[in-house]
């Protein structure tokens, strides 16, 4: 497994992160098999959130991996907090309680990375800073980041907190590529030129913040998977053509498309299928050409000015 540096930290982490949002759907034996298959393949960075199945995913993961001190030293654990039923909450009280809950469910004393899960309109950055300081000083969280935030929100938060924000988890796929598209349609009057995220892609690159694309195989907002989907015949034909050229699966080429971008992203998979995960990991060994990358981009219905 190829590794990248996570943000401004000294952490060398796998290029592919294993998303655990659906692990509660697996029985304990299946979950054990999946988690250990991931470890065998070098995928030891696991992404969680307290809101995933109301914490059941964190519990199932800890049981599946047989969490203990020896196991803990061999993995990276990332979790997210801030989403509550009907609201978002970045208050100091909620952050501290949420982390304690995740640690208990994950059967560990610390998180390698904590992300704030989506923006909270009522965020008071001074409170977040106090929470982060307490978590860092007690050793409960070693590093911090955000999810689904744009540059000004990150800058506002970073003004108050001491710890560098290492990652921003954002939705990105071949069919959900606005952060790339608006950068290609500069100075144009068409819809793709609209900047909906404050040029977050360039901002993260300028500030050494690792983008973690979530739902790399989805179209829309959880609209479904675009691979082998009759709604995307041209895109699938092009991906299949290039996959045959490299003698890999369409899953591998789709992931390779994201990894080809020079931003050095760390995509978060959502699959609970061992073979699909292995296909994602194979993408770390493939470098698409300029022509292949743009051919896939255009086949998804994107255009160039």
Beta-carbon count within 10 A of 85 CB: 6
Residue with tokens 């409170």, as numbered in its chain: 127
The answer for 198, left when phi > 0, alpha when psi is -120 to 50, beta otherwise, is: left
Asked if residue 139 lies in contact with residue 109, where contact means CB atoms within 8 angstroms, the answer is: yes
Catalytic entry in 45, 52, 219, 297: 52
The Cα–Cα gap between 276 and 81 comes to 27
Half-sphere exposure of 267 (CA within 13 A, CB side): 26
Asked if residue 153 lies in contact with residue 126, where contact means CB atoms within 8 angstroms, the answer is: no
Indicate the helix (H) or strand (E) that contains 248. Answer: none
Nearest by Cα to 34 from 50, 23, 46 = 23
Beta-carbon count within 10 A of 26 CB: 18
Residue 52 falls in the annotated catalytic set: yes
Asked if residue 127 lies in contact with residue 158, where contact means CB atoms within 8 angstroms, the answer is: no
Q: Where are the beta strands (DSSP E) in the chain?
A: 3-5, 12-14, 17-19, 45-47, 76-81, 83-84, 87-88, 111-117, 141-147, 165-171, 210-214, 218-219, 224-225, 268-269
What torsion do the CA atoms of 7, 11, 15, 18 make, to the nearest 10 degrees? -100
Residues in CB range of 224: below 8 A, 6 or more apart: 218
> What backbone phi and psi angles, to 5 degrees, belong to 142?
-95, -30
> What backbone phi and psi angles, to 5 degrees, belong to 263?
-75, -5
3-state secondary structure of 24: helix
Asked if residue 248 lies in contact with residue 254, where contact means CB atoms within 8 angstroms, the answer is: no
Catalytic residue annotation: 52
């Amino acid at each position: 497994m190829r590794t990248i540096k996570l943000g401004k930290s000294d952490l060398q982490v796998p290029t592919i992160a294993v998303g655990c949002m659906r692990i509660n759907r697996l029985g304990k034996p299946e979950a054990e098999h999946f988690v250990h298959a991931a470890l065998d393949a070098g995928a030891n960075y696991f992404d969680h959130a307290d809101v995933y199945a109301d914490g059941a995913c964190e519990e199932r993961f800890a049981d599946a991996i047989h969490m203990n001190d020896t196991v803990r030293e061999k993995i990276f654990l990332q979790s997210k907090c801030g989403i509550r039923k009907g609201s978002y909450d970045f208050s100091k009280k909620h952050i501290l309680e949420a982390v304690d809950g995740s640690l208990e469910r994950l059967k560990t004393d610390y998180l390698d990375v904590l992300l704030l899960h989506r923006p909270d309109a009522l965020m008071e950055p001074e409170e977040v800073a106090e929470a982060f300081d307490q978590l860092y000083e007690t050793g409960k969280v070693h590093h911090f980041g955000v999810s689904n935030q744009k540059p000004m929100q990150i800058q506002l938060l970073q003004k108050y907190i001491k710890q560098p924000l290492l990652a921003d988890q954002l939705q990105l796929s071949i069919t959900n590529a606005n952060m790339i598209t608006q950068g290609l349609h500069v100075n144009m009057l068409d819809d793709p030129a609209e900047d909906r995220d404050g040029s977050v892609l360039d901002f993260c690159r300028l500030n050494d913040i690792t983008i973690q694309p979530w739902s790399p195989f989805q179209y829309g907002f959880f609209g479904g998977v675009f691979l082998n989907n009759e709604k995307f015949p041209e895109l699938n034909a092009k991906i299949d053509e290039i996959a045959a050229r490299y003698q890999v699966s369409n899953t591998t080429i789709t992931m390779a498309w994201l990894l080809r971008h020079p931003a050095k992203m760390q995509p978060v998979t959502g699959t609970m299928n061992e073979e699909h995960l292995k296909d994602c990991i194979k993408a770390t060994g493939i470098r698409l050409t300029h022509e292949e990358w743009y051919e896939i981009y255009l086949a998804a219905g994107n255009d160039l000015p």
